[in-house]
Amino acid sequence: MLAVLSPGQGSQKPGFLTPWLDLTGTEARLRWWSALAGVDLVHLGTAADAEEIKDTARTQPLLVAAALLAAEHLPMHDVAVTAGHSVGELGATALAGVLSAETAITLAGVRGREMAAACALEPTGMAAMLGGDADEVLAAVDAAGLYPANRNGAGQVVAAGTLAGLDKLAAEPPAKTRVVRLKVAGAFHTPHMTPAEETLAALAAGITPADPTRILLSNLDGSAVGHGRDMVQRLVRQVTAPVRWDLCMRTLADLGVTGVLELPPAGTLAGLVKRELKGAGAPEIVTLNTPDDLPAARDLIARHGGTPGPRPTPAFQVVWA
């Protein structure tokens, strides 16, 4: 069984889409999606520097576009599972057939702009907590008045909230825990993003989603979502709710996933899966970053793909006599 993963904010690198523009039709597709997202995806993916693509309003549609762009060159009909981290979940939802690519790009543009606006309302931030006892780490986050915005497994929890709370956490870290301040605009996946969630909810109410055609995992609780409307509601809720990537990886293991392919810009999720799913049953992992990686990605799909989706389709025949 094969899973395709779509990365989230922080995985972007300057110029990472440049080699993809050599493929026929890629630039035209990006320009069309740029009109929907309200940002210049061609410029952001090729010429923009690290500071420019760090902007939440630009980064989020850029990442969703990159994942969908690469997936167009893959035999996705043989993929059994899709999952995404944070904004990457929009890409995964489109790949599962719930949203069109255009709807996912449009939502990513609105999501990015509104979350950036929410960040400007109050100085907030995030910090990664590496190592330590999980219960002690979560207790320290709560004691500092912060929220566990991301629980990424492999000994990594991301705390988010006010700058004063982050300073307190850094001054009094739990035992055997290293606190690393993240260069982000604000406290994503916390109640600080409530204005963004409200705006996204009003927009999402007008979407007519389809039900997923393959297993689609949710960041809210790691479960497989069977109905499109439920997934859209979860996407909206995710703006203020923690990203439970640890539970998504647990579901990958429970499903017996044997191959994992991360879409561009790849590396972050592949690293988390490699550290978390170890041992004899560890999946084979391929990272797709440039068109040169497409043969390896297609080979992985050919060897691990083809498993049916979330609900078996009954085979029957009606005979009139």
Q: Which one is catalytic: 6, 11, 34, 86?
A: 86
Is 85 among the catalytic positions?
no
The catalytic position among 6, 34, 189, 192 is: 189
CA 296/CA 140 separation, integer angstroms: 43
Question: Measured between alpha carbons, how far is 183 from 75 in angstroms, rounded to an integer?
Answer: 36
Residue (of 21, 53, 54, 24) closest to 40 by Cα position: 53
Q: Cα(189)–Cα(139) distance, rounded to whole angstroms?
A: 18
Q: Round to whole Å and give the CA distance between 240 and 164.
A: 20
| Residue ranges in the chain assigned as alpha helix (H) | 26-37, 41-46, 56-71, 88-95, 101-119, 134-143, 163-171, 194-204, 228-237, 245-255, 268-276, 294-304
Contact (CB, 8 A) for 170 and 127 = yes
Q: How far is CA 184 from CA 45, 202, 236, 238, in A?
A: 19, 26, 20, 18
Q: Dig out the tokens for 96 from the structure.
A: 């599962």
* Residue 189 known to be catalytic: yes
Alpha-carbon Rg for the chain in angstroms: 19
Terminal-residue alpha carbon distance, the chain: 41
Distances (CA, A) of 165 to 61, 123, 126, 136, 189: 30, 11, 10, 16, 16
d(CA 294, CA 100): 23
What is the C-alpha separation between 92 and 87, in angstroms, rounded? Answer: 9
Just list the catalytic residues: 86, 189
